[in-house]
Structure 1
Amino acid sequence: MISTHIHDARERVAAEQNALDAKIAAVETFIDRVGEIAPDSTAAAQSTSSQGIATTTATQLQTGGARTEGCAAVREAFAETVRPHSVADIEEPEPLLETISAELTDSVAAALAPATNTPLSSGLKRAIVSEAESRRTEIEVMRRTLDSEADVLADAGETVDEITSWIADADETALSELGFRELKQRHERLESHRVRCEELAADRQAFLRETTSEGVETGVRHEHIIPQLYEDFPVEYPVLSTAGRLEELCRDCQRAVRDHLTRRA
């Protein structure tokens, strides 16, 4: 079997699927840990409603003197669960609150910032859990996108493997050893392979224009996300590049066969 960029892409997607599975589990653990944290026992924390993180924080800051053990515990839970998966690909370390902002919104990061001295109320706790659940849903949608990508790559890989295997087998017999009819059959077979390559490219472009949106208001557009998986690859679009190069190879082979057919005519 000839190795192509599609094979490399399948390995990358499998690794990313494992990484997302681990991150989903981490977010779920974070949600569980936050659920076990008792709200701070202050008048401010007890009197604040769950009208939103921004309202909750503003109300608590006005009271002053609040205990903030709860928010510290939430920050610790996040640092030990979600953060390692969030910064795994980042070379330069980033502040914890910056990671919280990226994963759970700016409002959550502001509410949990030590400088704000915000106590953990029941309302704030529910809001944090709600944002974490939303983030988990987003990651799950991304995981389903990768599942679709894995299926597409598997089908594409099967098509490419079949064509490259046929070419490798055919190359074992020199064109000079083939009769006119055999040459004509080989030319027709190469034409069918070219059509399959063109169909593969068309199907790939159609897939990139699709969206995975189950469970979220704004879906994940494949053309915005999929290319990021392969940004460090030697080619920007592994499937399209492979399909194009294979179609070109089949065309070159056809040209050689036609030369022999012309001489035999």
Structure 2
Amino acid sequence: MSVELRTHAAIERATAERERVEEKAAAFRQFDERVQAVSATGGASTGGVSANATVSNAVTPSGAQQSPVGTTLSVGSSSRSSTDATDTVREAFAATILPYAEVETTQNALADELSTDLAAALSPAAGGFAPGLKKQLLARVSERRRECQLLSDAIETERERLEPIAEELDAITSWVAEADETPLLQLGFEELRSRHDHLDAHRETCEELAHERQTAIRGTRNDGLTGIRQRELLDLLYEDFADDNPVLADIARLDDLLAECQRAVRRHLCARV
């Protein structure tokens, strides 16, 4: 008699996902550094003219105002600088965050990973990377870094919870496999009763593990900024598993196996009376 456990696969999944989230947090850190290195323009452009541009008209010796020859060059330079800055930010995002996004295009990933407003402000047609926009972007990136760290910590907590459960389940299945090597017909009455008591103790362990697991699932991890519900975390980690909660499923299957073993032992006990 045996039961296939998925708890070890759940531990491996949690380990792999934590590594991915840590890499994503590092990518946000790199993006933050690259954005800070980008010079913000004076303001948003209107009709191709910088809102902060200053125009200085030259005066000829005769007193007549000269056409502002330098004005067009100054405004054009500001517009190009603004566009270049936005392009640099988008390129930095594509090089750092995009590989970890769940969508493929840079524009959609900006909206998904940052916000729709920031994605619109950083679009090629927006026309500017003003200081206010840079400040908002850096603030949002800082928030996303904290969120990644919170998620990473929550996944690590989940992995740490699973390891002792896996050890308990392994110990029980090993005992069952070893006990199953001796046919019940070869056991005396006292040996059968001892076998039944051991099975009962293992079922109590399963009940305790199930209760602790259900309590953990109802919990929420919070850092004062945002919270992660354990149920949502499990959905993230185990969406590809056959069972919504592979650990509870393992406990239930193992308890069913133990109950079946107990029934077999009771039948032999009754036959010996």
TM-score strictly above 0.5: yes
1:259 aligns with 2:267: yes
Q: Deviations 1:119-157 (Å, cap 9, x if unpaired)?
A: 212221121111001011111111111011101111110
Deviation at 1:228, TM superposition (A): 2.6
Q: Deviations 1:185-244 (Å, cap 9, x if unpaired)?
A: 11011111111111111111111111111152x300011221231111122210111000
Deviation at 1:3, TM superposition (A): 5.3
**Where does the alignment leave 5 or more consecutive residues of structure 1 unmatched?**
46-59
* Higher Cα Rg, which structure: 2
Amino acid across the alignment from 1:192: A
Amino acid across the alignment from 1:116: A
Alignment equivalent of 1:236, drawn from 228, 244, 264: 244
Q: Deviations 1:68-115 (Å, cap 9, x if unpaired)?
A: 21111111100000110123xx6xx3x211101111111211110111
1:100 aligns with 2:85: no
Rounded Cα–Cα distance in structure 1 between residues aligned with 2:121 and 2:110 = 11
Alignment equivalent of 1:109, drawn from 119, 123, 130: 119
SS at 1:235's partner residue?
coil
Aligned to 1:141: 150
SS at 1:84's partner residue?
helix
Aligned to 2:227: 219
RMSD: 1.6
Rounded Cα–Cα distance in structure 2 between residues aligned with 1:227 and 1:195 = 28
Aligned to 2:59: none
Q: Is the 8 A contact 1:75 1:112 kept in 2?
A: yes
1:84 aligns with 2:85: no
SS at 1:236's partner residue?
coil
Q: Which has the higher helix share?
A: 1
**Where does the alignment leave 5 or more consecutive residues of structure 2 unmatched?**
50-78
Q: Is the 8 A contact 2:3 2:253 kept in 1?
A: no
Runs of 4+ in 1 over 4 A off after TM superposition: 61-64
SS at 1:113's partner residue?
coil
Q: Is the 8 A contact 2:38 2:85 kept in 1?
A: yes
Rounded Cα–Cα distance in structure 1 between residues aligned with 2:219 and 2:236 = 16
The TM-score, its normalising length taken from structure 1, stands at: 0.86
Aligned to 1:5: 6
Rounded Cα–Cα distance in structure 2 between residues aligned with 1:14 and 1:215 = 25
The TM-score, its normalising length taken from structure 2, stands at: 0.84
Aligned to 2:90: 75
